[in-house]
């Protein structure tokens, strides 16, 4: 399991840090109050450590010796210091620390703990640097490396678009203005046109002393702008703020489109997305089938074992649906009801696929508190034919087939073409 290392010689401050860490950090934290303790812990857990929050002046390392050692070992370090003079700041930045925090208020300690969490999350964040100057591009790449971002590079806008197509996980683009072939403005416009559905932030850069450049960048679709040269701390603040804004947007989107219990799409999202896929299939003349699936005798599980057991059954069923049918659009559309849109499958293939899923379910064991149960499911399938049908009509026909499957004894799949 990943771990964080916190080293602080003040028992009062360490108590505050422990309290905040319990609230903010997702992994185990190991603590030390001096360099000797820290080195012992480091040797034991070195392969598990993600980052360290280290006091600059310790009783047995008064001149930052522990910070120097950990940086040499390649561990990202956030420094705690009681000194706020410019010489200390410059020294820490030259060492290559991820950040430094002045010991002032509880907010300072909270910021330091949150920075540890950020360094962990950044390992899964892809950033693209677009800069025609190799020297400055390397500088930006090295800076982002201090915060553990996964960095991609491009020499101009044309190459940047190629990289974006090849790496759909990129979340942030940092682009210079003056570049050959395609400048920063043109790149931002192309990004917003070609990747309009991607949750992607853009920060513009320029060394040109023109106050209107920031306005032009933002009006062309950028999220932020920095003038070169910039302070390292400001750069990281801008990058972090934009990444966290994207994460907040993604979190809100997840809450709006996902079922809170199972994590599958909810009925609202399913309806909106299914409408689009249905229209696409109608235009292209490709088959599409709608499945309404229901857990047989689900009420009996709630009545006999309680609603917690019922919730666990729903969560496990959602997992099996995602695992077996995740390449299609899957949602929880009712209490124990799930829906699947099988784009590209006619009625025969859809019924065959769902029969395979049904057979798999009856062979599985569902775990509930202190026990386990076996379940079956029934499903109704409706397929779009040459006659145009609305999504509501497809649902009605699938519901009719589901009702017939229930009446026929359950643990069945019935199709309506």
Q: Please write down the HEC assignment for all residues of the chain.
A: CCEEEEECCCHHHHHHHHHHHHHHCCCEEEEECCHHHHHHHHHHHCCCEEEEEEECCECCECCCHHHHHHHHCCCCEEEEECCCCHHHHHHHHHHCCCEEEECCCHHHHHHHHHHHHHHHHHCCCEEEEECCCHHHHHHHHHHHHHCCCEEEEECCHHHHHHHHHHCCCEEEEEEECCCCCCCHHHHHHHHHHHCCCCCCEEEEEECCCCCHHHHHHHHCCCCEEEECCCCHHHHHHHHHHHHHHHHHHHHHHHHHHECCCCCCECHHHHHHHHHHHHHHHHHHCCCEEEEEEEECCHHHHHHHHCHHHHHHHHHHHHHHHHHHHCCCEEEECCCCEEEEEEECCCHHHHHHHHHHHHHHHHCCCEEECCEEECCCEEEEEEECCCCCCCHHHHHHHHHHHHHHHHHCCCCCEEEEC
Q: Residues in the chain with pLDDT < 50?
A: none
342: left (phi over 0), alpha (psi -120 to 50) or beta: beta
Cα-Cα-Cα-Cα torsion 63, 234, 115, 83, nearest 10 degrees, comes to: 30
Residue matched to tokens 């932020």: 224
Give per-residue pLDDT as tens, 220-238: 899 999 998 899 999 999 9
- Residue 247 confidence (pLDDT): 94
- Residue 384 confidence (pLDDT): 86
Residue 21: phi, psi to the nearest 5? -60, -40
Name which of 393, 415, 158 is nearest 278 in CA terms.
393
Return the structure tokens found at 30: 């190991």
- Residue 210 confidence (pLDDT): 72
Verdict on whether the full-model pTM lies above 0.85: no
Biggest alpha carbon distance in the chain?
82
User: CB of 400 within 8 A of CB of 416?
Assistant: yes
- Residue 211 confidence (pLDDT): 73
- Residue 306 confidence (pLDDT): 93
- Residue 284 confidence (pLDDT): 87
User: CB of 414 within 8 A of CB of 404?
Assistant: yes
Give the contacts of 316 (CB within 8 A, at least 6 positions apart): 366, 367
- Residue 417 confidence (pLDDT): 60
């Amino acid at each position: 399991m990943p771990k964080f290392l916190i080293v602080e010689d003040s028992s009062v401050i360490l108590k505050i840090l422990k309290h905040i860490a319990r609230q903010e950090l997702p992994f185990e934290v190991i603590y030390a109050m001096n360099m000797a303790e820290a080195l012992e812990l480091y040797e034991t857990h070195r392969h598990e450590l993600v980052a360290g929050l280290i006091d600059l002046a310790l009783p047995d390392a008064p001149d930052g010796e522990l910070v120097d050692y950990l940086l040499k070992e390649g561990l990202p370090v956030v420094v705690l210091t009681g000194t706020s003079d410019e010489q200390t700041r410059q020294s820490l930045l030259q060492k290559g620390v991820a950040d430094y925090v002045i010991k002032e208020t509880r907010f300072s300690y909270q910021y330091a703990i949150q920075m540890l969490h950020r360094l962990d999350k950044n390992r899964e964040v892809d950033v693209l640097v677009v800069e025609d100057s190799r020297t400055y591009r390397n500088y930006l790449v090295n800076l982002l490396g201090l915060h553990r971002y996964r960095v991609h590079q491009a020499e101009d806008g044309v190459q940047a678009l190629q990289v974006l197509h090849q790496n759909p996980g990129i979340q942030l683009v940092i682009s210079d203005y003056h570049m050959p072939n395609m400048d920063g403005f043109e790149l931002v416009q192309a990004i917003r046109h070609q990747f309009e559905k991607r949750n992607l932030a853009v920060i513009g850069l320029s060394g040109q002393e023109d106050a209107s450049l920031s306005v032009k960048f933002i009006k062309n679709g950028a999220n932020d702008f920095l003038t070169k040269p910039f302070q390292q701390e400001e750069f990281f603040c801008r990058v972090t703020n934009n990444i966290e804004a994207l994460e907040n947007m993604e979190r809100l989107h997840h809450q709006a489109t996902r079922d809170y219990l199972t994590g599958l799409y909810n009925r609202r999202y399913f309806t909106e997305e299914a409408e689009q896929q249905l229209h696409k299939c109608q235009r292209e003349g490709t088959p599409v089938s709608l499945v309404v699936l229901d857990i047989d005798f689900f009420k009996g599980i709630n009545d006999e074992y309680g609603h917690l057991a019922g919730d666990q059954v729903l969560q496990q069923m959602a997992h099996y649906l995602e695992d077996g049918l995740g390449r299609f659009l899957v949602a929880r559309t009712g209490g124990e009801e799930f829906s699947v849109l099988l784009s590209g499958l006619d009625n025969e293939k859809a019924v065959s696929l769902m029969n395979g899923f049904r057979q798999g379910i009856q062979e599985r064991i569902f775990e509930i508190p202190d026990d386990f149960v076996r379940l079956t499911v029934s499903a109704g399938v409706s397929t779009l034919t040459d006659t145009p049908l609305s999504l509501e009509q497809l649902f009605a026909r699938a519901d009719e087939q589901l009702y017939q499957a229930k009446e026929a004894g359950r643990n069945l799949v019935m199709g309506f073409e």
